[in-house]
Amino acid sequence: MIEINRKLCIYCNTCTGVCPVMANRLREVVVEHDPEKCVDCGTCVKACPVAAITLRAGKKNL
Amino acid sequence: MAYDFDVIVAGCGPAGAMAAKAAAQAGCSVAAFDKRKELGAPVRCGEGIGLHWMDELGSKLRDKAISAEISGSVLVSPDWKNKVTIRNAETKGVVVDRKVFDKDLAMDAGRAGAQIFAHSEVVGVLKDGNMVAGVKAFVDGKPQEFRAKAVIAADGGESTIARLAGLNTVSTLYDTDFGVEYEMVNVECEDLIEVYFSVADAPRGYVWIFPKGKDVANVGVGIGGMQSPNAKHYLDRWIKAHPERLGKAQTVAIKGGLIPVGAPMTEGAVGEGIIVAGTAAHQVDPIHGGGICLAMEAGKLAGEVAAKNALAGTTDRAHLLEYARIYEKGPALKLLKRLRMRKVLEKLSDDDLNAIFSHLDDKDIDNLLKSNFAAVVGKMGGLLMSRPGLVKTISALA
Ligand SMILES: Cc1cc2nc3c(=O)[nH]c(=O)nc-3n(C[C@H](O)[C@H](O)[C@H](O)COP(=O)(O)OP(=O)(O)OC[C@H]3O[C@@H](n4cnc5c(N)ncnc54)[C@H](O)[C@@H]3O)c2cc1C
Ligand code: SF4
Ligand code: SF4
């Protein structure tokens, strides 16, 4: 799973678009992340234009 | 089977609004859903468009939708030693206010008879067997199902609706640009769009200043998806490095987003009962990342094809593929040419770019960017002599 720093996020919709499994969805002005879907591929971490996303050890990669 | 609408449009940006309008004008009952409370906001765009498009699309711009009129563009070499100014009929443009522009397009769709559902997110796709048969959307905060003969997915770079329908519209990191942009005041501007090429400052992309008024501009950077660390890093660094121009600039809005810059989707953008249009189908200029008018063009086409087939009761993939066939013969040809050019441009170093800028004049660079290579070949001799390494790269264009 990933962690989104809400203080940095500019709701630009990038992480929602690049995620191969649609684990990120932009709801109004909050990105909802679904750790159940996330496969830890890191694409959105790389893509976020303001570096608001970091990979975090979730249950999948423990 | 009963249907609530002939055609449902999911996402009401430039692509969706044009699709809804075209389908309504063709005599269909149409619903267009958008999750935004206010169409057009928040803005995620540089907002620059070429005016020639308005004639081609049969659209009119309301004065209120225009922030600034543009006569041409200035292209700046990495070393800032050469500036090329291009002013001609094709570079005439405007920087729009998308908060007004997008809403105007949606109003036109509404005037043509489409029902617009704002603040209504599409969260699912309904299917009869393998045939898309409508959407599930939150309207007035409640999930509801709406059935339709055809669905047009026009939800932008996120492109979740096509993916929910089983189409693969993910843009790879390599074929995606990431952009961030500040709307800034105290930036002196002429009526020119400024584009700064530099591998060091904007790898696989460029820095732009798009005027929105005498002293207001969108200042942004786009970088290729494989680049590190992130777009904001490059933009902040660039702004800091140019105090003479931006020292007094103040940011009043921060915008950003992804731009698919690979091949436009054609056949892949069509499924059983569904057509994908606009940035959701990567229909974006691979070099400058502009996609507003391309989205409008594709949306209109999608609306026409979906409407015709919805009325005839033939919204299976085989019939909807007419959209791909028309797109392949027109817009896609141009975009694929531009994609080849992008792939050459991204191989050039800053030294290569500086050499090109110093050898070619305004007209040559204009021709180059328009992919009129034949017109420039004669001038290339001296340039290629000075930089033999360029021969291999540039020959890919032939
Ligand atoms: C930083 C940046 C700068 C850019 N600068 C320029 C430029 O200067 N000129 C230019 O021509 N292009 C530019 N572009 C590209 C341009 O913004 C897009 O190509 C254009 O907006 C595409 O239009 P569209 O209708 O396909 O998608 P969008 O404009 O993204 O519209 C999609 C709509 O769908 C809605 N939607 C999404 N998901 C759902 C859902 N699940 N349910 C309901 N509604 C949904 C959204 O709310 C939105 O209104 C830029 C892009 C970026 C990121
Ligand atoms: S890490 Fe990969 S799977 Fe997880 S949210 Fe980001 S893009 Fe999606
Ligand atoms: S990519 Fe980054 S800034 Fe954009 S919506 Fe996702 S977390 Fe927010």
**pLDDT tens profile B172-203:** 999 999 999 999 999 999 999 999 999 999 99
User: Which has the minimum average pLDDT: B90-104, B258-272, B283-297, B347-361?
Assistant: B347-361
User: Residue A62 above 50 pLDDT?
Assistant: no
Mind listing the pLDDT tens digit for each residue in A9-60? 998 989 998 898 899 988 877 899 999 999 898 899 988 999 999 998 655 4
User: Which structural domains are found in chain B, ordered by start?
Assistant: 5-47+97-171+262-336 (3.50.50.60), 176-260 (3.30.9.10), 347-395 (no CATH)
Q: How confident is the model at residue B360 (pLDDT cuts 50, 70, 90)?
A: confident
- d(CA B282, CA B373) in angstroms, rounded, equals 25
Q: How far is the CA of B256 from the centre of ligand 2 (A)?
A: 19
- Chain B residues whose CB is inside 8 A of the A47 CB are 173, 176, 178, 225, 258
Report how far residue B247's alpha carbon sits from residue B110's, in angstroms, rounded to the nearest whole number: 45
Distance of alpha carbon B285 from alpha carbon B280, whole angstroms: 13
B229-257 per-position pLDDT tens digit: 999 999 999 999 999 999 999 999 999 99
Model confidence at B391, pLDDT cuts 50, 70, 90, reads: low
Q: Does the structure show a pLDDT above 50 at B8?
A: yes
pLDDT at A26: 86
CB < 8 Å & 24+ apart, contacts of B235-244 = B235/B180, B235/B181, B235/B182, B235/B207, B237/B201, B238/B196, B238/B201, B238/B202, B238/B207, B239/B182, B241/B201
The stretch B307-317 carries a mean pLDDT of 98
Q: Are B199 and A58 in contact (CB under 8 A)?
A: no
Structural domains in chain A, CATH included, are 2-55 (3.30.70.20)
Average pLDDT estimate for B388-395 = 68
Which of B37, B163, B178 lies nearest to residue A22, judging by beta carbons? B163
Instruction: Using alpha carbons, select from B187, B248, B191 the residue that is nearest to residue B219.
Output: B187
- Given a contact cutoff of 8 angstroms between Cβ atoms, the answer to whether B230 and B203 are in contact is no
Q: Which of residues 26-45 of A touch B (CB under 8 A)?
A: 26-29, 43
Closest-CA distance of chain A to residue B379, Å: 39
Q: Does B380 have pLDDT greater than 80?
A: no
Chain B CB contacts of A48 below 8 Å: 178, 230
From the CA of A33, how far away is ligand 3's center (Å)? 11
Minimum Cα–Cα distance from A43: chain B residue: B173
pLDDT tens digits, B320-348? 999 999 999 999 999 999 999 899 889 99
Residues of B with CB under 8 A from a CB of A: 35, 37, 42, 44, 121, 156-160, 163-164, 170-171, 173, 176, 178-180, 225, 228-233, 254-258
Mean pLDDT of chain B: 93
pTM of the model: 0.94
A:B CB pairs within 8 Å: 76
- Residues paired with residue A31 on neighbouring β-strands, in sequence order: A26
